[in-house]
Amino acid sequence: MILPQNKVFCDTSFFFSSLYPDDSNYEKAIELLKYCKKHKLAIYTTWDIVSETITLLRYRASYKTALEFLDKIKPVLYIVHFDDSVRTSAEEVFKKLSRDKKISFCDAVSFVVITHMLDNIPCFSFDRDFKTLGLTVYP
């Protein structure tokens, strides 16, 4: 795996898998986190994903696991800030693509952030939505 910009965008499925040992992708997520640390990759995400991750961890794992994300992982993330124009663009992406593909609005926001603000950096994700949107996804 070669990530020339030393940057990666991570979604909820990746973060969840990295903190929930019962998840089928747990080992792969840990391997990817070790890769990030070894190669000093900057991990980008959005507040939308942080919120979604905390909620999912709280509902499917535990309060303690949700706090672990907040206390240990969130502080090392580069959280992309954006204005309402990104959400407006995401609305258009959602309207255009969600009729035929099941994508979340959070995924539409991520798509706009990755393609318009982050120069199409690769993504770590375990769901199919980012691939469906045509983004570069690992693993």
pLDDT tens-digit map of 82-130: 999 999 999 999 999 988 888 999 999 999 999 999 999 999 999 999 9
Residue 107: inside a domain, yes or no? yes
Q: In this structure, what is the dihedral angle of CA atoms 92, 122, 106, 129, given to the nearest 10 degrees?
A: 90
Q: What pTM was computed for the model?
A: 0.95
Q: Could you tell me the pLDDT band of residue 135, with boundaries at 50, 70 and 90?
A: very high
CA distance 95 to 108: 10
pLDDT at 50 over 90: yes
Identify the DSSP state of 24. Answer: T
Per-residue pLDDT at 123: 97
Residue 59: inside a domain, yes or no? yes
Residue 26: inside a domain, yes or no? yes
Residue 1: inside a domain, yes or no? no
Count how many domains the chain has: 1
Residue 77: inside a domain, yes or no? yes
Phi/psi of residue 42, each to 5°?
A: -85, 130
Enclosing domain of residue 13: 7-131
Q: Could you tell me the pLDDT band of residue 70, with boundaries at 50, 70 and 90?
A: very high
- Does the CA dihedral 62-70-8-122 come out positive or negative? positive
